[in-house]
Homo-oligomer: A and B are copies of this chain.
């Protein structure tokens, strides 16, 4: 029924649809529903403690024994640049004033990258699949994850990044086009100009030509047409985020959910002002007044510590002005249904489109 089964065979899934990990907005219920339906559910672990990761994995395994994916960020922690932090906080000071929030005197280091401790946990939990964002962790950690029996994925935003990932041990490459919501996986190319980032339709075939492993298309896919197109481009599967974010099982905030309901195709921009790294969000006051790209923002993830108090205060007042409203460019295509039904519909719609051709 599917024109390319390489990814399905490799990951032990019956439907070539990966629910994208969405740190802070996915849930064990969402991942379990996708995996139980034959796709690959994912848990974004970047904002979860070790205990929370273990608990979420238990929750998934209570529902299904099918493969699922744990995702980790593996950025290089940036140097603590007090001057840069201070300049950015000064820039944000008027907003802190306006919202009546005390300006922090310094920024916390923020979320941790994948390290030996998290690697211990992964080896103990032994999920079928581990995916990384922002490149790969150091080689010894990659080797340990592999030795634990996990398949390893990571995202490439250029053909050159895809080649690097394969040389460093991934089993499949996620070709993340510019349409994708949330953080871009970019790790070895420049991102200062969003318009240099490559669209999914142009990226997937060029990545497929550059590597021998299965390619997973990501970015702008939210119905069977996008899936059928991805296979035509040379992909062996797809990763879909925004459409799953709209499922009732996701942990997205009501405010973010309402913004997704309204989001037209041109509602989003790539911005670094929320976290320090480029990510696609629905444009709002924060991206308009501070960005969407400002190279003065502290490096990821330090900028997130600067924007979080604003977000919390604004959201408490019912405003998404300072919220990272992650969304891809195909939010409007998604059907808003429970995750199992979404997987079924996506697969049926895709197979119908493929068969019709």
Complex contacts, A160 vs chain B, CB 8 Å: 264, 266
Q: Which of A122-130, A295-303, A326-334 contacts B (4 or more CB under 8 A)?
A: A326-334
> Which of B178, B221, B266 interacts with A189 by CB under 8 Å?
B266
> Which of B264, B270, B354 interacts with A159 by CB under 8 Å?
B264
A292 within 8 Å of B (CB atoms): yes
Question: In chain B, what residue has the closest Cβ to A196?
Answer: B269
Complex contacts, A209 vs chain B, CB 8 Å: 333
A219 within 8 Å of B (CB atoms): yes
Complex contacts, A293 vs chain B, CB 8 Å: 195
Complex Cα distance, B233 from A272, in Å, reads 30
Copies in the complex: 2
Complex contacts, A280 vs chain B, CB 8 Å: 195
Within 8 A of B (CB), among A203-231: 203, 205-206, 209, 219-221, 223, 225-226, 228-231
Question: In chain B, what residue has the closest Cβ to A355?
Answer: B357
| Cβ contact within 8 Å between B354 and A206 | no
A194-B194, A195-B178, A266-B196 known; A229+B206 contact, CB < 8 A: no
| Cβ contact within 8 Å between B232 and A196 | no
| Cβ contact within 8 Å between B356 and A266 | no
Complex Cα distance, B291 from A193, in Å, reads 10
Complex Cα distance, B302 from A118, in Å, reads 57
A194-B193, A195-B197, A232-B228 known; A202+B265 contact, CB < 8 A: yes
A39 within 8 Å of B (CB atoms): no
| Cβ contact within 8 Å between A219 and B198 | no
Question: In chain B, what residue has the closest Cβ to A271?
Answer: B195
Question: In chain B, what residue has the closest Cβ to A177?
Answer: B199
| Cβ contact within 8 Å between B201 and A158 | no
Within 8 A of B (CB), among A239-270: 264-266, 268-270
Complex Cα distance, B271 from A40, in Å, reads 39
Question: In chain B, what residue has the closest Cβ to A280?
Answer: B195
Complex contacts, A179 vs chain B, CB 8 Å: 198-199, 201-202
Complex contacts, A194 vs chain B, CB 8 Å: 193-195
Question: In chain B, what residue has the closest Cβ to A234?
Answer: B225
A78 within 8 Å of B (CB atoms): no
A144 within 8 Å of B (CB atoms): no
Contact string, A321-357, partner B, CB cutoff 8 A, digits 1/0? 0000000111011000000000000000000011011
Complex Cα distance, B230 from A234, in Å, reads 13
| Cβ contact within 8 Å between A228 and B357 | yes
Complex Cα distance, B202 from A280, in Å, reads 14
Q: A200-B200, A203-B329 are in contact. List 12 more A-B contacts (CB 8 A).
A: A177-B201, A194-B195, A195-B271, A195-B292, A196-B269, A201-B201, A201-B226, A203-B265, A206-B332, A228-B229, A228-B357, A229-B229
25 contacts between A and B (CB under 8 A): A158-B266, A159-B264, A179-B198, A179-B199, A193-B269, A194-B195, A195-B268, A196-B266, A196-B269, A196-B283, A198-B329, A199-B199, A199-B220, A199-B329, A201-B219, A201-B230, A202-B220, A202-B265, A205-B225, A205-B333, A206-B330, A228-B229, A228-B357, A229-B230, A229-B233
